[in-house]
Amino acid sequence: MLRDGLIFLSGSRTARRIATHAPGARIMARRFVAGETIDDGVAAVRGINESGMTASLDCLGESVRNRTEAEAAAATYVAVLDRIQRERLDANVSLKLTQMGQDIDDAFLRANLGRVLDRARDADLFVRFDMESSEYTQRTLDFFHRVWDEGHRNIGIVLQSYMRRSEADARAANAIGARVRLCKGAYREPEAVAYQDKADVDRNFVHLMELLLAEGRYPGIATHDEAMIRATRAFAERRGIPSSDFEFQMLYGVRRDLQHQLRRAGYNVRVYVPFGEAWYPYLMRRLAERPANLLFVVKAVLAESPFRFLRRRA
């Protein structure tokens, strides 16, 4: 119930308008979002690299239907790639196709995203196409395979274990040697296309993880669920798959203790670093993924708010 409510709020314009002007809202967001500028994102990546981990920078934004806004998003990604190359950061980028103009038309999307892909190719950097709701799954995969067939090999895709179709999509990606990030999924989906029970989502996550580790190309296992992490480590050990053949991926600000534990254990860890002004829907979906995060961030906001003085006097 709480998860569904948070996912609903992530798409509510009224809730977004209220939240983005509420006292303390930005404090809450900064737990999970590096900041609003490229400089903020780069600073976060620099600290992550110093800890021995890699990163993926994501300029937040989605569902763009204005050409000027989509072009500005592409320009931001080009600037991010410039900074990664110039400052020799150990990082790649993640982006959403709806931010690049997928809802405008395919020709515009290809031309607009082409600026990013060309810059990434020149800099020998990797670009991940994030997966959005089921409405876009086939369109995103079709576009990915189109660009792949055009010769771009520095791109990857995301698959979600709550989607019933993901095994077939994983096998298709493995067949061409494309890199896959596996996550559970954070959108509200109908039962016809997505598993609803956590046990089913987890079971499919383990199945897909094993398929990607056994047959895929350097998959990213994106989870904070310790049971999923244990299953990944155990499978790799049983099959003799070296830790250099895959990586764990985690969100900025979530389970930093676990990130460092895995790195100390010799595993590759990539931290997904979002930045930008469009932080509200992202934050709501992160809370929906793990509602226990809600209590954590509320405590953090209260600790840094003026009301802390009232609590001390009570």
- Please identify every residue annotated as catalytic: 130, 181
Helices 137-149 and 106-123, axial angle in degrees (round to 10):
50
Q: Nearest to residue 127, comparing CAs of 195, 72, 178?
A: 178
* Region of residue 44 (phi > 0: left; psi between -120 and 50: alpha; otherwise: beta): alpha
72 touches 31 (CB < 8 A): no
DSSP state of 163: B
205 touches 159 (CB < 8 A): no
The CA distance from 259 to 269, in Å, is: 7
Q: Nearest to residue 31, comparing CAs of 221, 257, 297, 240?
A: 297
183 touches 221 (CB < 8 A): no
195 touches 164 (CB < 8 A): yes
- Give Cα 71 distance to the centre of its chain: 21
Helices 67-86 and 38-50, axial angle in degrees (round to 10):
40
User: In the chain, what's the furthest Cα-to-Cα distance?
Assistant: 66
